[in-house]
Amino acid sequence: MNIVDLHDPTRVGGIPNAVKILFSSGNFIQDEFKILKVELRLYSEQTDEKLGVFSLITSFVETDRGTVEMIYDEGFRGEDSLLRASEFLTSSLGISGLILRSVISLREKLN
């Protein structure tokens, strides 16, 4: 099962502009779900002359039972927004919260 948990799923219909892999060893279990990969994806949506690029950053979690992609952050975040988001997640134990949200979303769709 593949879940795109966004108000407008077409926002992530294409190939991301950049991807940052946060976890890919496939040996982590959250509840009964085996977590295979966690990544952040950057989609550049529009450019404003003063504010720069509007960034949509999503989290993508792949499990043995399906995938979930959901909004992590969006807005005019400046240069290196994906790198800053990934550094924040890895330094603040945010990955576990992101995984838990994804597993809850998957569990709801499977039931």
As a whole number of angstroms, the distance between CA 52 and CA 31 comes to: 41
**SS3 (DSSP) at 100:** helix
pLDDT at residue 83 above 90? yes
Q: Which residue has the higher pLDDT, 75 or 47?
A: 75
| pLDDT(26) > 80 | no
* Whole-number pLDDT of residue 4: 85
| Whole-structure pTM value | 0.90
- Give the mean model confidence (pLDDT) for residues 18-45: 92
**Listed range (25-29, 49-53, 70-74) with the worst mean pLDDT:** 25-29
pLDDT at 9 over 90: no
CA dist list (Å): 25 to 35, 37, 70, 86, 102: 9, 7, 21, 17, 17
* Residue of 45, 55, 54, 64 whose CA lies nearest to 102: 64
The pLDDT assigned to 13 comes to: 81
Residue 42 is predicted with a pLDDT of 96
Report whether pLDDT(30) > 80.
Answer: yes
Q: How crowded is residue 50: how many other Cβ atoms within 10 Å of its Cβ?
A: 5
Residue 55: the pLDDT is 94
CB-neighbour burial class of residue 8 (10 A; exposed 0-12, middle 13-18, buried 19+) = exposed
